[in-house]
Structures are given as C-alpha cells and as structure tokens.
Amino acid sequence: MGRLLRNYAIILTSLSLVDAFIIPQQHQSPLTSSSQQQHSTTILFVKQSRSTLTRPPTSTPPPPSDPSNDDENEEVFGTKFFGGSAVKEELFDAELEENADRMQRLYPRQKKKVIRRKPGEVEEKDEDLSYERFEDRETFPDRKGKEIGVRLQSAINRALYEVGEDEEDEADEKLEVGLLYDAKMTLDDWVTPFRNGGKGSGEKVITSSSCTNPMEGLSAAIEYYKRVDVAIVAARTVEEDDATGRTTLEVRWEISVQWPNAFESRVLVSGTSTVVTTPDLNPKPTIISQIDTLDTAAPNDSTNPRIQNIVTSVANQLTPRFWDLYHVSMTPSAELMPRLHPKTGGDLLSGLGLGIQYKEFTIPPRLVLRPTLVDVEGREAREAEAAPNHAFTSIIRTTGRTGQRFITASPLEVSIRRRPRSEVYTNEDPNDADHTSEGKKKKLVPVIEWSIPLPPEFLSYDRSLPLPSLDPLELAEEFESDSSFRAYAPSCSYVYRPRRRVATVSYGGSPQDADVAELRKRLYERVVVKDKKRPKLDEEGRPMFFFLQNDAKCCFTADGGFGMAVYDWRPEGVKTNEVGIELEDGDD
C-alpha cells in the first residue's frame, strides 16, 4: 500500500508539470562564471551524447575481480528503468554475451557485395543497404524543401548533440546556425506553442529577452528534460513570391522528450512549421519567420496560433501506463503513436455484449519501416503475429557492462492486403511451365504488411537509414530453401504514410485469430452501414482493415536501427489491441 501511495504522489507531480512543456527559462550556466555571463549573451549548455552505450556510474574504482570468474562478477545493466534499481543477474547468459560480442551491431550504411542465387546460375551484384531519406520524393518532393530539410536537421543536431570528429570533417556539418535563421528575427517572427504564453510551475512567462529562434530554444531545453530529440520528417514548397523572391515552405517534424519524472516518460509531439525564407542569395537563403502548429490543433481552426494548447498533446503521455509498471524493468517507456482528435461512437450497451463501441481518431503522416511477406500458409502459420526476422537491421545488447541504450516505439501495425501477383513476384517468368498450374492462376496474392514506427532519435541520427539484407544466404535460417524464399518474397523499405482517419475496436487476441474476421464485419456494419461513414478502399475496391498490436514495443538504437521487438503479456480479457478500418476524410 505504501508503494501505491508513493506512485500516486509521483503521478500528481507529473501532472503538475504538464504546463512546463515549454522552453525553460534561461539562467546562468554552471559552466560559465558570473563575469562571463555579464559580457556575453551566449549561454553554454551541456549537449547530449549520441552514444548508444549505457555504463554504470562509478564514483569509486571497482574492486579487483578474479579474471577466471568474470561472468559471475558481471553486473547486468539495461534493466534500470522508471527509477528502479533492480539488478537481474539471473538474466545474464555467458553464451549470449559471447555471441553478441561477435555480432555486436550491423552498420549497413553502404552497398554490400552479395551473391544472389538463381536457378541454374550464380549472380554477383551490389545490394543497397541504406535509404537516403532526403532523396525520397514522397517526403521531400522539391529542391528547396530538400535543402531546408537538410539544413534544419543539421542545425538541430548541432544544437542538441556533441559534435564528433567525423562530423567536424564534413563541410555540410560546419554550417553555422546563424546562417540558417536571420539575425534580425524577433519574438514576433517566431510563433510557437512551446514558448508563447507557456507557464511553468511557479515560473514567469518567458519574456522577450529569451529565445528568438528554435535553435536557441532547443539548446535551453536540454537543461530541463532528460533527453530531447527532433527529426525533420518532410518538407515541401508551398508558395514562391516572384515579386519578393521569398519562399514559403511547410516542414513536418517530430519531437521526442524524456520527461524528468520517476517513470522517465517518453513524450512524442508532432506538427508542422510554416517557414518563410529569403531569396536564393549566396551562400544560402535564411529563415525570416516561422509559425509552429501542433497536430493536435483543431482542424480548420482560425484562432490565434499562439494559443495552441500543448497540454492536450502531452498530458496522457506523462502518467504511468499500467502495463509499463506491470512489466517494470523490461523496456524503457515507449513513444506512442499520436492519436489526433479522438472521439467515441457505437452502442452504449456494448459492455453487455449488445453491439460494439469504437474509437475514431486521426493518425498524422509518419515515416515507417515497412517489411512485407507473402502469407503463403494463411492462418495456420500465423506469420503476422510477430515482426519478421528480415526487418531487423541491428542486434541490441541489453546485458553486460557494454549494454546499449535503446528507444522503444509502439504500436506495431499489421495488415494483410491483396496485391497483384506481378508486383509481388517481379522476377517470375510468365512462360514458366508451372505458371499455368492452379496455384499460379491467382492474379492476387495475400501480402502481410507491417508498419514499424520510427523514433525521432533514430531518424535524426543520419541522412542514410539502414536497411536489412535480403540475401537468401543470410536468411537461410528463416527460409530453408530457394523455393521457400521465392514463395514468401520478403521485402523491406521505408514508406511515408499520409494522414489517416481511422476507427478501431478493442480486441485481446492476435492479428490472425479466427475471431478477427467476425470483428471486422461487425465494425464495418456499425461504422459504415449504420453510422454512414465512408470507408477507404484499396485498388480492388476492398475496405482497408488493419490491426494495432499495442502489446508490442519496437526497439531501436540510434545508429543501428530496428534491433528488437518486445511483446508484453496481457490477458485477452483486457483487450488492449485493436482492429481498425480506414475512413475517408470529410465525414463527421
């Protein structure tokens, strides 16, 4: 009972800090003397490390140990989350550690020479194991959008993180922040909910003597939050004024904050910025104004953008989640998918088994990792229940003194779509003798698609994001033969998913349970037939259903990518997962 009371007190403390989600007051840095502070407006802040290693704090030298008994003396780290101090020595596995030492992590940043096996021949070719995200025309469709995206991400990284030796040698990384934002910018030129009108607990509203551009604000935020990561997800040109030469662009971003409470809550905030730049002058155009808009802002709202409510964006992410506490020390707190403008619908007596009750909300545009696999054996194999092996790009060490710090994101989304056979089996020969067999006559094949959310810390780490190798030799343990590999046709890529309006109903099972088909039918009848909402249809005119695994946490390291998936045990009766259907915009 005492522990519950302490947890309740911490919850109240977290709620009282909700209004503090603004740029904290700048004060004298402990790294500068008072005389330096009086003669300079530059305040030094301790920047964040980009290292993914976690090391135990050592105030005194460790006692000498017996070299022959290192495994027993090894302290297990990577299990101290939510303020806990549990050390689980029983999790230590010497054989696992030795294997992790050999394989450590993959760094698939460059093209890798692989040998692909084909029937009757051996072909050697280059396999591209990286995704250049600023070259993606879906996220950065024009030159100016790409340029401002690259420069903003570079400036953000320099404001938040320690600069390594490799970065110092790159010419693009030497871009000064002063060349990105115009020196004449004032508080009126930067309209943001993170500062204007924000109040902390017992603090004054930030005044005009504080930050005048986002880079200054990010540097100041490091002092308050345990960690701050910002990713530029997309950018595009909105308008070009021929008379003035100025360009208006829309930039999409995601901000992840590790809250300074006992639970180390992860808060994910997404939104857009409308920036105006000067003409293309030498060396580069500068930003002269910026208006930040949260995704949680009411749609088609004409109110003053300065009065956006940041509280609604973060309040439900600060309180401890029951299953995080139940599985304490398994993983850090996860970054949750934003759910915008939520509302409920359905039958009031759904709790008594009379009808169903559903949730309706909007998912903002996001970049996701998209592995796919042909559903060859259907419900019997249950391939959709877990992320496939060919989606992983790294190995995460969670034990030992060199255990890695990792970020978790949830939920894992799964869907099964019918795709044209020619798109799935691109190397299939239509003149093959087996092509006319019964199995080959199907024009559409069921394909399992996973959407794995990407944490901002991982997105912002590098311009090139790692991709897994799809070489049959490296996937031999998953696919026993070439014919099996070709039948499942595994693929993996990064995909920018647009804004989606969805309706979901709670469910306690797995994606390929027999009950899911019946639940999809009931959801369709309630949402589409009875409530007259228009479903979004695929190329074949079928409603687009999906499954949200809220009991899954996708684990990433900043430099290695997707390295682990953790599935919480939860009773089916609690119904923490969701079956959903995509809806067309415009229906109220």
| pLDDT tens profile 134-193 | 999 999 999 999 999 999 999 999 889 887 644 544 444 444 555 789 888 888 898 888
Q: Write down the pLDDT at residue 557.
A: 94
Which CATH fold topology does 2-27+137-320 show?
Answer: Nuclear Transport Factor 2; Chain: A, (3.10.450)
Stated length of the chain:
588
Which residues lie below 8 Å from residue 342, measured CB to CB, with a gap of 6+?
A: 359, 360, 361
List the structure tokens of 187: 């508080």
Q: Percentage of the chain surpassing pLDDT 70? A: 67
Amino acid at 140: F
Of 11-20, 164-173, 300-309, 317-326, the least confident? 11-20
How many angstroms separate the CA atoms of 387 and 468, rounded? 13
- Quote the CA–CA distance of 272 and 366 in Å, as a whole number: 12
Strand partners of residue 492:
371
pLDDT at 321 over 50: yes
Pair 371, 386: CB distance under 8 Å: no
Q: Is 2 helix (H, G, I), strand (E, B) or coil?
A: helix
pLDDT at 270: 95
* Average pLDDT value for residue range 229-239: 96
Cα distances (angstroms) measured from residue 490 to each of 247, 447, 469, 546: 42, 10, 10, 20
| 44-48, 169-173, 271-275, range with greatest mean pLDDT | 271-275
406 and 272 in contact (C-beta within 8 Å)?
no
H or E stretch at 531: none
* Residue 103 pLDDT exceeds 90: no
Confidence band of 19 (pLDDT split at 50, 70, 90): very low
* pLDDT band of 124, cuts 50, 70, 90: very low
Provide the pLDDT for residue 40. Answer: 31
Average pLDDT over residues 488-504: 96
What pLDDT, on the 0 to 100 scale, is given for residue 344? 92
- Domain spanning 335-427+440-583, CATH class: alpha beta
Residue 485 is predicted with a pLDDT of: 87
Pair 577, 523: CB distance under 8 Å: no
The pLDDT score that the predictor gives to residue 360 is 96
pLDDT for 55: 54
Element (H, E) at 322: helix 322-326
pLDDT-based confidence at 403, cuts 50/70/90?
confident
Residue 114: predicted pLDDT: 42
Contacts of 334 (CB under 8 A, 6+ apart): 266, 324, 408, 409, 410, 553
Mean pLDDT (whole number) for 560-588: 90
Per-residue pLDDT averaged across 409-426, rounded?
93
Instruction: With a cut of 60, say whether residue 449 has pLDDT above it.
Output: yes
Domain map (residue ranges) of the chain: 2-27+137-320, 335-427+440-583
Among 302, 271, 292, smallest CA distance to 499 is for 271
Q: Cβ atoms within 10 A of the Cβ of 333, count?
A: 23
| Residue 12 pLDDT > 90 | no
Helix 2-16 crosses helix 311-318 at what angle (to 10 degrees)?
A: 170
Report d(CA 213, CA 183) in Å as an integer: 9
User: 3-state DSSP: the chain helix, strand, coil percent, rounded to 5?
Assistant: 25, 30, 45
Range 318-327 average pLDDT: 74
Indicate the average pLDDT of the chain: 76
